[in-house]
Structure formats: structure tokens, C-alpha cells
Structure 1
Amino acid sequence: MKRPSVSRSSLVMTGVLALLSSVASTAQAPAPLSKVVYIHAGNLLDRPDAAPRGNSTLIVRDGKIEAIRDGFVAPEGGAKLVDLSKQFVLPGLIDMHVHIFNDDNKMRARMEQNNRDVEDNFVIGIDNARRTLEAGFTTLRDLGSDVHSVTALRDGINNGMLVGPTLYVAGRSISISGGHGDSSNNTNRDITEMVHEHAINTCNGADDCRRAVRQQISQGADVIKFAATGGVNSNIAGGLNQQMFADEMKAIVETAHMFGRKVAAHAHGKNGIKAALEAGVDSIEHGTFTDAETNALFKKRGAYFVPTMVAPLAALAQAQAGARSKATLAKAEETVASHGKNTAGAIKDGVKIAFGTDSGVGDHAANAKEFSLLVKAGMTPAAAIRSATLDAATLLGQADRIGSLAPGKDADIIAVTGSPIEDVTRLEQVDFVMRRGVIHKVDGKRQPFPEQIASR
């Protein structure tokens, strides 16, 4: 009897997780951490849609917020006290668009891409995840990674074997052949044949696109992403306009929604943005060439706009330095020339904004640089913070768990020095990070990994 085929990458990832589980289970655990923590907050933005409170106490039990009280309440029953009485405390931040396995060093990545195995990229992803958590981002939505690797990382974090943010993942972005997301673009015949043999994310025609959605979901995808238009970093001079037909987009959205998954559409050109919105997507990523017509359609459909304002600036700088292709350079120049102005128009027109950076194009752990660009485009600091907390949580469908601080919600809590409502760049230097009741950073310093294992 012929044995079913198992990919080498699947076997490798199974071995990696087994090793991590063995290390976690055999490590000598230190004394158990207190499961009850009192946090004294000098200022507390528990509800990002309201004004901050003054001196407050957050009581955290078993990873959840048990109560919020006015003033500084003394710990009871041997509970741990965290003194943030001189700091501004707010919910953990949410980035709705990252690529966690992308190397920050683009020149090195370009030179070494054909020498790396899945294990190398997995190690890069582990480091990126931990650094991003320490930057105050307790939840991420990954919109384009190997589905086996990213679901393994997601589950390893959730099971306490690894340190990082809570991940909601899309697996591979769905793309038409030759589109943004087809990794065979402009490769030699050997690489092209190998990609075509194993790719499950490319599709052509509505039925084939339904298949692509189902395959990503079958491998563990929480959300579906597809490329409605060309992309800046595609190694092909295909432009930034629509590349997928309306019936293909509609098939993707209907299939994903049937499975209870939300859909994010990568879209730069106006025609692709409009077609994706008409197909019923939940969010548009990048949206470079939005205008009054598409802004009205956003509002009619109730969709969110995730501008990723830092990404085109990063891509342009990398292309100018020779770390990206000539095709990317031309598209990056076109994007930078229009993106800021058009995003400002969307903000002015009242389009719903959710925070996202496309980190992996730009540097990981520098996600908070997006805030100042949103403010420059017309958002108030308070609105920018809301886009990375309550509004992002709503788009994720997780507002009952994250995005604000209230009894029963996850204890995802960060703190900074000074008010980010007065100066949003304060979020670029986070001093304290707690995710699901586990403290990962205090006084700007990383907490040791064994404490995270002990908290499982």
C-alpha cells in the first residue's frame, strides 16, 4: 500500500515543536508565580473610547482582569504588587498586518534566501515575535507566512512554550498566477517548477479560488487574505492595479465567510479596492489609491481600512539601497507619492481605521512608528490609539477579550512614561508589558524566559 506523502517542512516543524515541548517539560521550573497581581496605575486608559482615569488599581487573577478600582488598593492574600503609579497604563496594542518570519535585514535575506531552510526562518520568527511583544504589541494578525510554520508558532505561544504575542494567522496569501503572492514570479525554471508543484495559495478562476481558501483553512488559518491588486514588493513589473476578477474575489469571500473566517484584501489600485469592497471583504490593506468614491463604499459596506503607512516608506528606502528589485523601486516611488495624501482623505471622510504596519516590510518591534504617521495624516492621538486597541479588536472579532481593560477580559496590559494622548510617540518606548497575566517586561527590561515557562 502506498504511504501518504508528508512534506519535509511538515516533518521538520513537528520535530521542532516536539523538541520545544521536551525542553519546556524537563526544564527545572522556579517557584510558582503568584496568580494574583495588583497593578497600581497612575493614569489608566481602560476604555480607549473614553477619557483616561486617574489613580487606579487593576486586579489580575489567572490571566484575566478581575476588577478595576479607583485609587491605590493594597494587595490582599499575598498577591504580587506591580507599581506603575508614575506611569500611563493602557491595553496591549494590536497590529493587524505583520509578516512575522521576514528578516529585518533585507540585504542579507535577499542574498541568503536560497540557502535557508524552514528551521532558519522559524528561529527568525521566534525572535521577531518576542521583540514585538516587548514593544507593547500583545496581539498580531499575520497576513502572509508559511501556514505550517505560522500555526506552529501561534500554538507554541498559546501553549506557553514560546514567548510572543497572541497570533491570528492567514497562512499564505491567496493570489492568481503571476499576481502579488505568486512566489514563482521572475524565478528560473527550476524554482518555478518547484513552486508550482507545492503551491496551494495560487488560483485561477472562481472554483479554483474556493479550493485555495479551503486548503488554507484546512491547515489552520484563522483569517483569509488575498491579493486583489499588484504589490510593491512583487518581483514583477505588473503595476498596482486590479489583478483578480470580481467573481474570483467573491468566491474567496463567500467561502471564507461560510467557514466563519474574516477576509483581508491586499489592494493598492482604486479599481481593485472597489472590486474587493463590492465582494464583501472585511478589511482593505494598504489602500494606496483610495478616493472619495471608495471612501463612501468603505462606509456603505462597513469595512475597515488598514493603511500600513510605514511600509511604503520602508520599501522605498530598501529599494534605493539595492535590497529590492528594480520593479519594486518603481512601484515604491509611485506608492509613496500618493499614499499619505489619500490616507488623510479617508480619515477625513470618516472611514473606519484599524492599525497595521506590514512589519516584515519595515522592521519588527518598530511597529509603534505607525502612530505618528496616522496623527500626521489627521487622526488625533486618542483615535490612533483606539485604532490599535478597541477598533482592531472589533475587526478581529475579539472585542469581548481584548482591546480594552474590563473585568473578564484578558490581562493584556502595557505602560509608558507620560501620556501618549498628549504625545503619541511615547508608545515607541514601552516600559511594562503583560500578556494574559504574565509579565514580560518591567522597567524597560526583558523578564527571563524561565518565568514564562513557570507560568503555564
Structure 2
Amino acid sequence: MPPTRPVLALSLLAVLPAAGAAELTAVHCGQLFDARNGRLVADRTVVIEGDRIRSVQPGRTGVEGARIVDLSGHTCMPGWTDLHVHITQESSPARYAEGFRLNPEHFAFRAVGYAERTLLAGFTTVRDLGGTIALALRDAIAQGQIKGPRIHAAGKSIATTGGHADPTNGYNRELSAALGAPGPTEGVANGAEQARQAVRQRYKDGSDLIKITATGGVLSYARSGDGPQFTEAEVRAVVETAKDYGYHVAAHAHGKEGMRRAILAGVTTIEHGTYMDEEIFRLMKQHGTWYVPTISAGRFVAEKAKIDGYYPEIVRPKAARIGAQIQDTFARAHRAGVKIAFGTDAGVSYHGDNADEFVFMVEAGMAPAEALRTATIHAAQVLGTEDEQGTLEPGKLADIVAVPGNPLEDITLVRKVDFVMKDGVVYRQP
């Protein structure tokens, strides 16, 4: 594994500032993506002081005392954000058995590699939607102990009994009896009062947001992948309590009725949204609800469902049926004018392949510039971090990703990231 501190290329070492001098970096970009307006501007220099952008200037501007990063053949963009990852796990035929064999430490050490892989793919921020290990990983990255993206962590997802995020799904009677029925502390709530308690427990745990599983899911050990699993009153209790703590709510949802209840109750995002229709599109536009499509996960599980033994037999038909539909749902939602932000469900698919989502979006009819906006300014709007992220402007965090060539002409270039800066620190470069 690479060293835990970023290593600058030897060609840059000669222009590092002397000890004690202001830490300045001038990044010369052949083109810069203006995420606010969805267009490219030619020949810009981004001047970085510490972890912030000090200025963005036309041309190849020289800055006294600054180290120079020459990306004149590249397009520079704001660091990308993936709003739906599971950074502490990754798809494998052994996944279902590992929960009984491995300890949390095993998953934590794996997560270190997943986090670095995600960062080097150009994703400087992620929203982790389910898993308590991500809370500790978030803190370790923020403290500079390991390399990875900035993490907004939901902690344990909130489910109903037998719901998609009930941690005891698939257990036999003996094991279930020994462990007892999970409750709000474990993220399982039935009724409005328990829903409020589950949110408060996430606050106690140190979560940054709330995730609920409003419908069944594809990979849970249960038959239904789309039936509603919360009443509207329960979702309202979650949303109202979350607002008390400054949280937004992400709702995993495949089926229409579960989405309808979640939207009316005021969730911020609908994740997956497989069985959306015109009524749901209208409700989302009316309530300002964001859609996070996760096409990558849909395509991944549909493909793996063809392999004997990759998923349990109770899961396999759901993966084949639901996964294959998400890209078409995305296309219809985009045409309908629903607000869309970027998310992959990485962990269900492979970490580091997150940028494939851009390609899938463009295949489904979205313009390349708009696809890039979903992972920059739109994602920042979902997170409420527009003052910090989403555009390359003075005062923003110095998160920059660059690819060779012009991604608005060839969106597949997003798979060729060769420069990544987060908080003013270079983690990858040509």
C-alpha cells in the first residue's frame, strides 16, 4: 500500500516553498469546467493557499513563491462527490457469509483501501449511506491518519422490522432468539416514537445525516424489493426529528408507494427510484426532492445475477429484475425535469469505478456537462455545502480533479483521472 502521506513528483520538489513560507500552489489548467454554468473556459490558473482557492486567473499566471502544477493539456474540474457509497464493504459472492465469520476490524481495514481507491478516482467527497465503521473512517481521514475522501456518514440505516436494513434478516430462529429483536438503538423502528428515538440514537452515534430504507431492497435477504416499509407517519417522525439536529434524510426506495410516502414526508433525496412514474416525477418536482439514481449498482447487480451462486437464490431474481431498470428510470426522470445528483451505490459495485456513472448518464441522454454538474454543484446543494464545494471559485476548498483532453467531447475521459487534489494536497498527478 502507498505511504499514508501524498508524495509529490520529483519534478515539483524544486519549486516547493521554503520552510516557513506561505504554502502556495499555482495549477495551470488548459481548460477549466465552470460547474455553475456548465461550460468550459480556456487557459486558467487556480491559485491555492493552504487548503483554499485564493484566486482563479486567466492565462498562465505566475505566482511568486508558488509551486507550479502544469495541467495545460488537461481539463480541471471541482473534486467530484458521490452521494451514495458504502465505503466499508464491497461486492463479493462471500459477502453474506462474511458477516458471520469476520469481525468489524476486518471490514475496517478493508475500508482503508476502498477509501484510497475512491479518492484516487477523483472523488474528494462521499456520502456513506449505512454502516457504523464509516463514522470512525470519516474521523481518521479528517485527522490525516489515512488517505480518502471527505465523508458525510449516515451511520446505521433506519429500517422497520424485517425491512431492508434490519440487521437480523436471514438469521435462523435460534440465532434470532439469542440476539433478541433489534430496536431503535440498532436502527430498527416501528411507530413514530421509535422512529424519533432511532434518529436521536444516530445523533448520539455522531452521524452526519439520516438514511431510511423506505422500501424493500435488492440485496437484503428478503423476498420483496419494492414494497413500502414505513408508514407516512413514521417517515414524517424521522424527517421532523432529523431537522431538529440539522440533518437531511436520504430515502432508499425502489417501489412507487414507498417513494410517495417519503416525498410527502419531506425527505431530501430518493435513492435508486426504480419504479418511478409520472406521478412520482410530478411530486418530486413539486416538493423539490432530489433523485440519486445509482445506475452503476443497477447494471452491476443485473450482470452478477446471471452468475450461479453469486447471490443467494432469494436475492437473484430481484437483482435481475430491478437492477436492469434503473438506467431507463434515470432517462425518464431526466426528461421529466427531476433534480438529479450523482450517486453510484459503490460497495454494491466496485470502489474506484465510480466515474462509470457519468458514462451511464450520458448513454441515457444527459449532456456531459450536466452529468458533471450532478457530481459537483448539485451534490454540494444536496449536502448544503455550496459555500465550500462544488465550483472552482475563490474561498472554496481546494478540491480539484483533472483528466487529459475534453470530457464534454468524450465523457469516457472521466475514467482516466490523473490529477487529484483535496484540501490543497496533491494525491495523484501525471
> Normalising by structure 2, what TM-score?
0.92
Contact 2:297–2:323 (CA under 8 A) maintained in structure 1: no
The answer as to 2:62 corresponding to 1:71 is no
Asked whether the equivalents of residues 319 and 326 of structure 1 are also in contact (C-alpha less than 8 Å), the reply is: no
Q: Which residue of 2 aligns with 1:9?
A: none
Whether 1:94 aligns to 2:81 is yes
The equivalent residue for 1:241 is 227
The CA distance in 2 between the partners of 1:89 and 1:195, in whole Å, is 53
The structure 1 residue matched to 2:247, chosen from 254, 261, 270, is: 261
Q: Which residue of 1 aligns with 2:137?
A: 153
Matched with 2:281 is 295
Question: Paired residue for 2:37?
Answer: 49
Between the aligned partners of 2:332 and 2:19, the Cα distance in structure 1 is: 52
Asked if 1:362 is matched to 2:340, the reply is no
1:323 aligns with 2:319: no
For residues 396 and 357 of structure 2, the distance between their equivalents in structure 1, rounded to whole angstroms, comes to: 26
- In the TM superposition, what whole-angstrom CA distance separates every residue of 1:411-439 from its partner, at most 9, and x where no partner exists? 00011011111111111110000000000
Partners of 1:91 and 1:48 in 2: CA distance: 11
Superposed, 1:205-284 pairs within 5 Å as: 205-284=191-270
Shift of the 43–239 alpha-carbon distance from structure 1 to 2, 3 Å rule, reads closer
Instruction: Report the Cα distance in structure 1 between the residues aligned to 2:256 and 2:216, rounded to whole angstroms.
Output: 12
1:272 to partner: Cα distance: 0.7
Cα 1:433/1:224, change in 2 over 3 Å: same
| Identity percentage of aligned residues | 41
Question: Structure 1: which amino acid aligns with 2:181?
Answer: H
Q: What amino acid is the match of 1:389?
A: T
Q: CA deviation at 1:317?
A: 2.7
5 Å-filtered alignment, 1:433-452, equals 433-443=420-430
What SS does the aligned partner of 1:42 have? strand
Q: Which deviates more from structure 2 when the two are superposed, residues 185-194 or residues 341-350? A: 185-194
CA shift for structure 1 position 32: 6.2
Structure 1 residue 49 displacement after superposition? 2.2
TM-score by length of 1: 0.87
The residue correspondences of 1:341-420 to structure 2 (distance < 5 A) are 341-420=328-407
Distance change >3 Å, CA 265–CA 46, structure 1 → 2: same
Q: Which amino acid aligns with 2:88?
A: F
Deviation at 1:47, TM superposition (A): 3.1
Give how far 1:337 is off: 4.3
Q: Gaps spanning 5+ residues in structure 1: where?
A: 1-22, 25-29, 444-456
Task: Extract unaligned runs of 5+ from structure 2.
Answer: 6-15
Q: Aligned partner of 1:154: which letter?
A: R
Amino acid at match of 2:211: K
CA distance in 2, matches of 1:324, 1:433: 35
For 2:111, the equivalent position in structure 1 comes to 125
Alignment of 1:132-171 (within 5 A): 132-146=118-132, 149-171=133-155
Structure 1 consecutive aligned stretches of length 4 or more whose deviation exceeds 6 Å? 30-34
Separation (CA, whole Å) in 1 of partners of 2:173 and 2:67:
61
Q: Sort the Cα spacing of 1:372 and 1:212 in 2 relative to 1 into closer, same or farther, 3 A.
A: same
Distance 2:151 2:244 in 1: 22
How many residues align structurally?
Answer: 412
